[in-house]
Amino acid sequence: MSDARTDRDGLASPQRRHVLGRGLALVGGAVVGNAAAEKAAAESAAAPPDVPEWMKAPGADVGSEPYGSPSRFERDLIRNIPKSLPQYTSASSRTPLQDLDGIITPNGLFYERHHGGIPEIDPDRHRLMIHGLVERPLILTMAEIRRFPSESQIYFLECSGNPGFEAMTGRTASDLVGLVSCAEWTGVRLRTVLEEAGLKPEARWVVAEGADAAAMTRSIPLAKCLDDAMLVYSQNGERLRPQQGYPLRVLLPGFEGNMSVKWLRRLNVTAEPAHSREETSKYTDLMPDGTARQFTFMMEAKSIITRPSGTQRIARGFNEITGIAWSGRGRIAQVEVSVDDGQSWTVAQLQAPVLTRALTRFRLPWTWEGAPTTILSRATDETGYVQPHFAELTAVRGVKSFYHNNAIIPWRITASGEVTNGFLKA
Amino acid sequence: MSDARTDRDGLASPQRRHVLGRGLALVGGAVVGNAAAEKAAAESAAAPPDVPEWMKAPGADVGSEPYGSPSRFERDLIRNIPKSLPQYTSASSRTPLQDLDGIITPNGLFYERHHGGIPEIDPDRHRLMIHGLVERPLILTMAEIRRFPSESQIYFLECSGNPGFEAMTGRTASDLVGLVSCAEWTGVRLRTVLEEAGLKPEARWVVAEGADAAAMTRSIPLAKCLDDAMLVYSQNGERLRPQQGYPLRVLLPGFEGNMSVKWLRRLNVTAEPAHSREETSKYTDLMPDGTARQFTFMMEAKSIITRPSGTQRIARGFNEITGIAWSGRGRIAQVEVSVDDGQSWTVAQLQAPVLTRALTRFRLPWTWEGAPTTILSRATDETGYVQPHFAELTAVRGVKSFYHNNAIIPWRITASGEVTNGFLKA
């Protein structure tokens, strides 16, 4: 069993104990990054804790929450919703990445992006129509869709404007790249359903349409539909939430989130793409020469340090640097962390399992001596692609683009341990 | 990319298309296992769907739920709470396994077992004391615990009375074995914290105490504490729910759930076990000779078919058999399914990733021709241990035991497709 342990954490080294040895000296002192906790720590060192009042009487009944919810002490841990939007029908809310651990995003905190609000769909009345260049047009009920062979996969989902090129002024990790989340999805391989309908030889695209007020419409290349694309009805074990497309959505692993059409009602198999609004005036990339790149589906390799990150504060001594990395092209091969603004890089530990097109958690132990600095992370995926600096990105793409910004995110740390967005002036 | 697909589903074979071909004939007809869906399917074959009313007006605003919840059409998908308990302070609620997909249990539906109700703990006032046979007794705040190096692991958790030997009369999969769930846990390796305190040479056990009204107390062998045991503060990304031990619990992968003490306030390092109530009068196994086995920690290999399962109904033709398997000793090596009451067995597909001490989802395509039968699943883990029939279990253990019943679960299928508990008389 000790072998398994060594496999899993990769940290069982003399160096680790040394780091912890330094940590120990700190644990007894005032080290914890905010005044209240420092005070509490100082008190706790003085006397053992009394029996707390919550041990002196029975607690709440089993089943007091037939469907559970977080502690009331966590009521501020909610989706990050812009306060200044003109309207909320076509808008987004972000996952609070800086407060989350691991790689699974709980359904209640999964990011949202809607173009016509969130429809409330009766699953018994919902239908999926498959038509166009098929041998046998089909109209399927949800019960019929659930009869197909199923699969479950852990995949990230990310909005392609995460963040927009001109939207890098946020304070927190969530403000910057909170339009990414990760879940275990269950459904049927899209290929299976298309084979049921029978593709005609001239089929090249599948146009997906949502049953929301925006009738969200995106064209998906047939190759993706026959590869790892899914029709999804469950997320993290339970049925999709309304915000995520209940009762049925497309899931295109690694592609920009907008294409994973929610509230799916129609798949039209075609020879040409639809050139819908969301693939012409929107979700295209304006290049320096004035042309627009269309059908830029892939979400390239990216990472962000979530702790320490903007608005947090660190103390001198041991700090674990941790964050998430992901690539639409497959597995994360490596994440490097710099604690000196890019002068040098150290390979971080990756938490197993490292899954294709899923978030990957990385960690690096770090002892901060108190000098101001900037910390960075950069991901490399299994294709060898390396996450670029923002300047490298704009050298190719110019500054007129909005979508597909996967630049390295810098966090500035002041002498007092405050962490701020390194894109902004100090 | 097509290679990846073949790797992942293992189903890309001519046989699969044949099964689907048969399925196709059925999809157009009345095949879907309940009358309402059959009616809907018949209607849908007659005419294409109109534009539904939920496309004709904007839906709910983004952020209408800062912390999301399931669709109101899923309001019956809740924890399975016994209706006839004399009281609910020391009781349990079960995960609705038959309605869930994949391996991750959403936090709102994770099973509960409490002995003194659910305490409501202020994390800023919570303390963990580590004392006894240590060099440096420690009292840690939650902020201090979060400064230690972290790890994230997907592990199942299971009550040892799941089901009790005399409690195999339930109707659903949840009634029978709903005291098992699985999540991604984040926290600190217990070994790391114990090394911080410094173990004295005579240390052999660690006695964990919860801050609930039961002061739940269990003795953990030191070897487990130095292996894969964790102190956990997050579950599926967010902070632990109150029902799961907020703000801090022990997590002992593969051991009976009761030992993963919730609301953890104290770790007393000792030379001998505490012989607490929960490891003497309870959580021991009464053998045929009248002696009681004590400290039977390990949850042995087990599986259950969750679909089709009790109270569900199947239609003739293609049905996917799916369920979950797990072992406290490591990875699941194989799950076999029998569709003829154990006369013959077929190896099921395992959904990757197959993780140590996590739920593993298995699936087997099946065409049911309408004959009454009984279906079974049996798990084999990486140690070679095979899940026993109930008769094999009682031959060794007798019938006076309550805990550690990992028997094969039979589901009887009638000629009309109804599925019932095969332990009960037909």
Condensed to tens digits (0 to 9), the pLDDT of residues B341-389 reads 999 999 999 999 999 999 999 999 999 999 999 999 999 999 999 999 9
Q: Could you tell me if B11 lies within 8 Å of chain A, comparing CB atoms?
A: yes
Quote the minimal CA–CA distance from B158 to chain A in Å. Answer: 17
Q: Identify all chain A residues contacting B17, using CB atoms and an 8 Å cutoff.
A: 195
Q: Identify all chain A residues contacting B130, using CB atoms and an 8 Å cutoff.
A: none
Token look-up 């909610």 returns: A78
Token look-up 């503060």 returns: B233
**Cβ(A379)–Cβ(A303) below 8 Å:** yes
B22 pLDDT exceeds 80?
no
Tell which B residues from 291 to 310 touch A, by Cβ distance under 8 Å.
none
Q: Do A265 and B67 touch (CB under 8 A)?
A: no
Tell which B residues from 90 to 109 touch A, by Cβ distance under 8 Å.
91-93, 99-109
Give pLDDT, residue B49: 59
Q: What is the pLDDT of residues B321-346, one digit of tens each?
A: 999 999 999 999 999 999 999 999 99
**B302 three-class SS:** strand
Tell which B residues from 340 to 379 touch A, by Cβ distance under 8 Å.
351, 353, 355-356, 361, 363, 365
**Cβ(B387)–Cβ(B400) below 8 Å:** no
Give pLDDT, residue B426: 76
Residue B143: what are its φ and ψ, rounded to 5°? -65, -40
- Find the radius of gyration of the CA atoms of chain B: 24
Cβ–Cβ pairs < 8 A, chains A and B: 449
d(CA A62, CA B92): 6
Q: Could you tell me if B236 lies within 8 Å of chain A, comparing CB atoms?
A: yes
Give residue B95's pLDDT band: very low, low, confident or very high (50, 70, 90).
Answer: very high
Give pLDDT, residue B217: 97
d(CA A228, CA A231): 10
Q: Minimal Cα distance from A92: which residue of B?
A: B62
* Burial of A52: CB neighbours in 10 Å, binned 0-12, 13-18, 19+: middle
Give pLDDT, residue B210: 98
Quote the minimal CA–CA distance from A164 to chain B in Å. Answer: 19
Q: Could you tell me if B88 lies within 8 Å of chain A, comparing CB atoms?
A: yes
**Cβ(B177)–Cβ(B302) below 8 Å:** yes
**Cβ(B378)–Cβ(B335) below 8 Å:** yes
Helix (H) and strand (E) counts in chain A: 8, 23
Q: Could you tell me if A216 lies within 8 Å of chain B, comparing CB atoms?
A: no
d(CA A55, CA A59): 8
Q: Could you tell me if A54 lies within 8 Å of chain B, comparing CB atoms?
A: yes
Q: Do B32 and A143 touch (CB under 8 A)?
A: yes
* Burial of A319: CB neighbours in 10 Å, binned 0-12, 13-18, 19+: buried
d(CA B303, CA B360): 9
Q: Do B114 and A59 touch (CB under 8 A)?
A: yes
Q: Minimal Cα distance from B149: which residue of A?
A: A320
Q: What is the pLDDT of residues B230-244, one digit of tens each?
A: 999 999 999 999 999
Q: Identify all chain B residues contacting A194, using CB atoms and an 8 Å cutoff.
A: none
Q: Minimal Cα distance from B62: which residue of A?
A: A88
Q: Tokens in use for B178?
A: 């709903």
Q: What is the pLDDT of residues B185-229, one digit of tens each?
A: 999 999 999 999 999 999 999 999 999 999 999 999 999 999 999
Which candidate from B1, B32, B105 shows the least CB-CB separation from A147? B32
Q: Identify all chain A residues contacting B264, using CB atoms and an 8 Å cutoff.
A: none
B42 pLDDT exceeds 70?
no
**Cβ(B310)–Cβ(B419) below 8 Å:** yes
Q: Could you tell me if B58 lies within 8 Å of chain A, comparing CB atoms?
A: yes
Q: Which of B358, B355, B320, B357 is nearest to B337 (CA)?
A: B320
**A339 three-class SS:** coil
**Cβ(A141)–Cβ(B40) below 8 Å:** yes
Least confident of A242-256, B106-120, B161-175: B161-175
**Cβ(A410)–Cβ(A340) below 8 Å:** no
Give pLDDT, residue A167: 78
Quote the minimal CA–CA distance from B182 to chain A in Å. Answer: 10
DSSP 8-state assignment for residue A83: S
Q: Do A121 and B54 touch (CB under 8 A)?
A: yes
Which candidate from B40, B110, B138 shows the least CB-CB separation from A124? B40
Euclidean distance between the first and final Cα of chain B, in Å?
49
Give residue B43's pLDDT band: very low, low, confident or very high (50, 70, 90).
Answer: low
Give pLDDT, residue A179: 98
Give pLDDT, residue B105: 98
- Find the radius of gyration of the CA atoms of chain A: 24
* Burial of A346: CB neighbours in 10 Å, binned 0-12, 13-18, 19+: middle
Q: What angle do CA B406, B409, B410 make, to 5 degrees?
A: 160
* Burial of B399: CB neighbours in 10 Å, binned 0-12, 13-18, 19+: exposed
Q: Could you tell me if B166 lies within 8 Å of chain A, comparing CB atoms?
A: no
Q: Tokens in use for B273?
A: 């076990």
Which candidate from B55, B103, B227 shows the least CB-CB separation from A212? B55
Q: Could you tell me if A123 lies within 8 Å of chain B, comparing CB atoms?
A: yes
Which candidate from A126, A150, A191 shows the least CB-CB separation from B322? A150
Q: Do B59 and A91 touch (CB under 8 A)?
A: no
Q: Could you tell me if B23 lies within 8 Å of chain A, comparing CB atoms?
A: yes
Quote the minimal CA–CA distance from B48 to chain A in Å. Answer: 7
Quote the minimal CA–CA distance from A290 to chain B in Å. Answer: 33
* Burial of B175: CB neighbours in 10 Å, binned 0-12, 13-18, 19+: buried
Q: Could you tell me if A7 lies within 8 Å of chain B, comparing CB atoms?
A: no
Amino acid at B17: R
Sheet holding B332-338, edge to edge: B346-347, B332-338, B373-381, B411-413, B419-421
Listed as own residue / partner, the contacts of A419-424 with beta carbons closer than 8 Å and 24 or more positions apart are A419/A308, A419/A309, A419/A310, A419/A311, A419/A312, A419/A313, A419/A314, A420/A171, A420/A310, A420/A311, A421/A168, A421/A169, A421/A170, A421/A171, A421/A176, A421/A310, A422/A374, A422/A376, A423/A168, A423/A169, A423/A390, A424/A169
**Cβ(B216)–Cβ(B129) below 8 Å:** no
Least confident of B44-48, B55-59, B290-294: B44-48
426 residues of chain A, pLDDT tens digit each: 333 333 333 223 333 343 344 343 333 333 333 444 445 545 555 455 589 999 999 999 998 889 999 999 999 999 999 877 777 889 999 999 999 999 999 999 999 999 999 999 999 999 999 999 999 999 999 999 999 999 999 999 999 999 988 879 999 999 999 999 999 999 999 999 999 999 999 999 999 999 999 999 999 999 999 999 999 999 999 999 999 999 999 999 999 999 999 999 999 999 999 999 999 989 999 999 999 999 999 999 999 999 999 999 999 999 999 999 999 999 999 999 999 999 999 999 999 999 999 999 999 999 999 999 999 999 999 999 999 999 999 999 998 889 999 999 999 999 999 999 999 987
Q: Do B36 and A88 touch (CB under 8 A)?
A: no
B10 pLDDT exceeds 90?
no
Q: How far is CA A89 from the centre of its chain?
A: 22
Q: Could you tell me if B59 lies within 8 Å of chain A, comparing CB atoms?
A: yes
Quote the minimal CA–CA distance from B105 to chain A in Å. Answer: 5
Q: Identify all chain B residues contacting A211, using CB atoms and an 8 Å cutoff.
A: 52, 54-55
Domains by residue range for chain A, with CATH: 99-293 (3.90.420.10), 302-421 (2.60.40.650)
Q: What angle do CA A170, B185, B130 make, to 5 degrees?
A: 105
Please enumerate in sequence order all residues whose Cβ is within 8 A of that of B84, keeping only pairs 6 or more positions apart, or say none.
none
Which candidate from B5, B136, B243 shows the least CB-CB separation from A68? B243
Q: Which of A263, A346, A96 is nearest to B67 (CA)?
A: A96
Which candidate from A54, A195, A320 shows the least CB-CB separation from B121? A54
E strand residue ranges, A271-309: 285-286, 292-293, 302-307
Which candidate from B56, B62, B136 shows the least CB-CB separation from A114? B62
Q: How far is CA A127 from the centre of its chain?
A: 29
Q: Identify all chain B residues contacting A44, using CB atoms and an 8 Å cutoff.
A: 127, 139-141
Q: Could you tell me if B1 lies within 8 Å of chain A, comparing CB atoms?
A: yes
Q: What angle do CA A321, A323, A327 make, to 5 degrees?
A: 145
Half-sphere exposure for B210 (CA within 13 Å, toward CB): 33
